[in-house]
Amino acid sequence: MKKRQNPVTAEVTMDVVVEDNRWYGSVSEICGISQRAVTAAFEKAEFSGPCEICVLLTTASQLQELNRTHRDKDKPTNVLSFPAGDAPQIPGGPHMLGDIALSYETLEKEAAAANIAFTDHFLHLIIHAALHLIGYTHDIEENAVRMEALEIATLASLDISNPYEETPGATLQYGTREP
C-alpha cells in the first residue's frame, strides 16, 4: 500500500444537541466518538479543511416530523442530513456543512434487530449522514456502492464490522439506501 505524501486532514468541529436523555446512557462520549468517526470518514473521502456540523440527537417522533416537513415522508427514519449548501458562511470561520438528526428509538430497534451494538450503529449512521453533507449520495447504484465502500472502510478503521454483511442471528439486514 502506497502512503500519500500529504495526508488529507479534516478539522471537524461538532455541536451536539441532545433532546432525548436516553442518548446519554447509550453512547458514551457522544461528542468525542462522533467527531473521530466523521474525521475518519472525511479523511477516507479525501475531504479536508476546517468544517462544522451540528448533530441533533432526538426522538422518533421528532425525526418523523422533520422527515414529513423536509422530505414529504410521514414516517419515522433513523437519520436525516441537511446539507448547508450555499448558505452564507462566517468569514474566517470553519465551513458550516450542515445538520444531522438521529432518532434514538429507531436506532435502538435497528441495532437490536441486526444484532449489533447500539454505538456501532450510531457511528455508522453519523458517518453516512456526514458523507451526505459533503456531497455523497445513494440515488443510483453506482453512487450507493461508492458511498457504502467509504462507510465500510471508515468503520473498519474504527474496528467496527461491515454493517452490510449478513449477521448471524440478525432478523434484519439494515442499510442506508432509502431514496
Q: What are phi and psi of 37, to 5 degrees?
A: -65, -45
Query: Residue with C-alpha cell 468525542?
Result: 32
Binning the chain into helix, strand and coil, the percentages to the nearest 5 are 40, 20, 40
Q: Which residue has cell 451540528?
A: 54
Distance CA 96, CA 89 (A): 7
pLDDT of residue 7: 55
Residue 31 confidence (pLDDT):
85
Give me 126's grid cell.
453519523
- Which pLDDT belongs to residue 93? 73
10-residue stretch averages of pLDDT, the chain, 179 residues long: 52 90 81 90 91 94 94 92 82 86 94 91 95 93 92 95 72 47
Domain span including residue 138: 10-157
pTM for the full predicted model? 0.86
Report pLDDT for 179: 44
Looking at the 3D structure of the chain, how many domains does it have? 1
Tell me, what's the pLDDT at 8?
A: 62
Question: Is residue 162, in this structure, part of any structural domain at all?
Answer: no
Query: What is the residue type of 64?
Result: Q
Grid cell of 27 as nine digits: 453512547
Grid cell, residue 85, equals: 449548501
Q: Which three cell numbers stand for residue 84?
A: 448547508
Report helix, strand or coil for 106: helix
* CATH number for position 15: 3.40.390.30
Per DSSP (E only), the strands in the chain are: 10-18, 49-58, 79-83, 95-103
Q: Answer yes or no: is 49 within a domain.
A: yes
The pLDDT of residue 95 is 86
